[in-house]
Amino acid sequence: MRKLTGAILATLLTTPVAFADPVDDTLVLNEETEIVTRTAAPDHLSDSLDEVMSGWLFRGKETRAMQADDFDNPGMIFVEQAMDSWNAVDGSEGKSCASCHDGLETMAGVKATYPKWDEAAGKVQTLQMQVNECRTERMGAEAWPYDKGNAINMEAALSSVSRGLPVNVAIDGPAKETWEQGKDMYYTRTGQLELSCANCHEDNYGNMIRADHLSQGQINGFPVYRLKNTKLNGSHSRFKGCIRDTRAETYKPGSPEFIALELYVTSRGNGLSVEGPSIRN
């Protein structure tokens, strides 16, 4: 009886007292590209969310403004560095990315569909894995370390030419098993604090946890330039940080677990615009 009273009381009390909702604002890049930062949740989420929202809506005014203009977006400096490596010959075959793919703009739309199933590899591949496949199998060059310098810069460059296009990863067919694995991870309460991604990013987005305004933890904006560490951050590195903060043993960027989680989390943002490189604190 007491137990019941307690639970009901707590429920009453948890119903939002002070709202710290996402802002009502629209993002237009360079005064031309409209970015969808909130839209109807994809079907697979219909039991848990009505709307999906970009992390951009949960950040402060200055941070939001920085992302609207490429000249103010420090993430674009890394995109420029990646343009140089796009054209640079590397590896035993004497080729650059441009040798086979022409301009970077030919990659428009590609980022929106990754991670995706790769028939030849027989597994789900992230964009960074695909780039490394080109490097090791087609250029005779070394793989770039996951989420580090060259790899994350190139991911940002590939993302930049897809900005404004809707995220649209496939979750059925051969990718389904990996997607299910990622989904399980999303809802599993891990670590000594026993918290799942969903505890914070599905049940509590809009609320403050200590000094942080919780977003939905979407990755349509990745790679992300963080004001906190003044560099580009990959989604796997972000996952790692969030898991570490639950006092759990985490996984490594590029691990099969994070590939699965990336596919699942990306699919939660199907319909939002590709935004990377975005800016967050």
Residues that bind ligand HEC (CB under 6 A): 7, 9-10, 14, 55, 58, 95, 97, 99-101, 107, 110, 120, 127, 130-131, 134-135, 138-139, 154, 158, 195, 197, 199-201, 209, 212, 214-215, 217-219, 221, 224, 235, 238-239, 242-243, 245-246, 261, 265, 280
CB-based contacts of 76, cutoff 8 Å, min separation 6: 70, 160, 277
Q: Cβ of residue 33: shortest distance to ligand HEC, in angstroms?
A: 18
Q: Which is nearer to other proteins, 145 or 174 (CB)?
A: 145
Compute how many other C-beta atoms are within 10 angstroms of the C-beta atom of residue 3. Answer: 7
Q: Considering the rule CB under 8 A, would residue 248 count as an interface residue with other proteins? A: yes
Q: Counting contacts by CB under 8 A, is residue 120 touching other proteins?
A: no
| 97 contributes a contact to other proteins by CB under 8 A | no
Q: Which residues, 6 or more positions from 51, have their beta carbon under 8 angstroms from its beta carbon?
A: 38, 39, 40, 41
- Residues in 203-232 that interact with other proteins by CB under 8 A: 203-204, 207-212
Structure tokens at 24: 């009502």
Q: Does 247 bind other proteins (CB under 8 A)?
A: yes
Q: Is 127 a catalytic residue?
A: no
The CB-of-9 to ligand HEC minimum distance in angstroms stands at 6
3-class DSSP assignment, residue 179: helix
Q: Which does 124 bind (CB under 5 to 8 A by kind): ligand HEC, other proteins, none?
A: none
Q: What is the CA radius of gyration of the chain?
A: 20
Q: Which amino acid is at 276?
A: G
Helix axes 256-267, 235-244, angle to 10 degrees: 100
Cα(182)–Cα(256) distance, integer angstroms: 10
Residues comprising the chain, all counted? 281
How many CB atoms within 10 Å of residue 36? 19
What residue is closest to ligand HEC based on CB?
A: 55
Count of residues that bind other proteins according to CB under 8 A? 38
The CB-of-216 to other proteins minimum distance in angstroms stands at 15
Give the active site residue among 108, 165, 227, 242.
242
Q: Which among ligand HEC, other proteins, none contacts residue 228 (Cβ within 5 to 8 A by kind)?
A: none
Neighbours of 12 (CB within 10 A): 8
Taking the C-alpha atoms of residue 153 and residue 222, their distance in angstroms, rounded to an integer, is 11
Q: What letter represents residue 39's amino acid?
A: T
Site for other proteins in 20-49 (CB under 8 A): 20
Binding residues for other proteins (CB under 8 A): 2-3, 6-7, 9-10, 13-14, 16-18, 20, 188-195, 199, 203-204, 207-212, 240, 243-250
Could you give the residue numbers annotated as active site? 242
